[in-house]
Amino acid sequence: MAISVGDKLPEVTLVKATENGPEQVNSSEYFAGKKVALFSVPGAFTPTCSARHLPGYVEKSEELKAKGVDEIVATAVNDAFVMGAWKASAGANDITMLADGNGDFAEAVGLTMDGSGFGMGKRGQRYSMVIEDGVVTELNVEAPGDFSVSSAEHMLGQL
């Protein structure tokens, strides 16, 4: 069952891509005490993710922060090295990359997809959420192949 508005995030380990290398973080501790705009993509460097999804959050980062967001987080079922390279190549300095290499977070929130037909295996769906002190206050899950409700622009309208 997928996570819903009002639910607390599940406790899993994610890996933060940092300048000093991968750093493990506990989701319940990491999201405590702050307001986070999180978006999930099926994969770093994939077409829509790189051409539209991440750039939208980079472009709108100041506006999101002006509306009370403390941190903007991107997650994908990729390793921290890939997420770090994606951040660097996109100039996404204001975005925190949390790698979900084994898909544990995607599985725990019930938002997985099967990308086997594209050689990608199990991945996280395209979605966004606003998290306040570890609790989901907004959730926007895309229909397969769509990109609209998980955009930075849509989230700005919700804040």
Q: Return phi, psi of residue 128, to 5°.
A: -140, 160
Residue whose tokens read 């599985």: 107
On whether the CB atoms of residues 36 and 143 are closer than 8 A, the answer is no
Q: In the prediction, which pLDDT does 156 show?
A: 93
Does residue 39 sit within a domain?
yes
Choose among 103, 105, 107: nearest CA to 120.
103
Active site residues: 49
Does residue 1 sit within a domain?
no
Rounded to two decimals, the pTM is: 0.92
**Per-residue model confidence as pLDDT tens digits over 94-134:** 999 999 999 999 999 998 867 667 766 587 888 999 999 99
Q: In the prediction, which pLDDT does 145 show?
A: 81
Q: Return phi, psi of residue 45, to 5°.
A: 70, 5
Whether the predicted pLDDT of 48 surpasses 70: no
Can you give the CATH number for the domain in which 105 is found?
3.40.30.10
Does residue 159 sit within a domain?
no
Q: How many domains does the chain have?
A: 1
Q: Output the 3-class SS for 79-138.
A: CHHHHHHHHHHHCCCCEEEEECCCCHHHHHCCCEEECHHHCCCEEECCEEEEEECCEEEE
Task: Show the domain range for 120.
Answer: 13-143
**Per-residue model confidence as pLDDT tens digits over 133-156:** 999 999 999 888 888 899 999 999
**Per-residue model confidence as pLDDT tens digits over 49-91:** 555 678 889 999 999 999 999 999 999 999 999 999 989 989 9
Does residue 133 sit within a domain?
yes
Does residue 148 sit within a domain?
no
Q: In the prediction, which pLDDT does 115 show?
A: 65
Does residue 156 sit within a domain?
no
Q: In the prediction, which pLDDT does 118 show?
A: 72
Does residue 125 sit within a domain?
yes
Does residue 5 sit within a domain?
no
Q: How many CA atoms lie within 13 A of 117 on its CB side?
A: 2
CA dist., res. 72 & res. 94, Å (int): 7
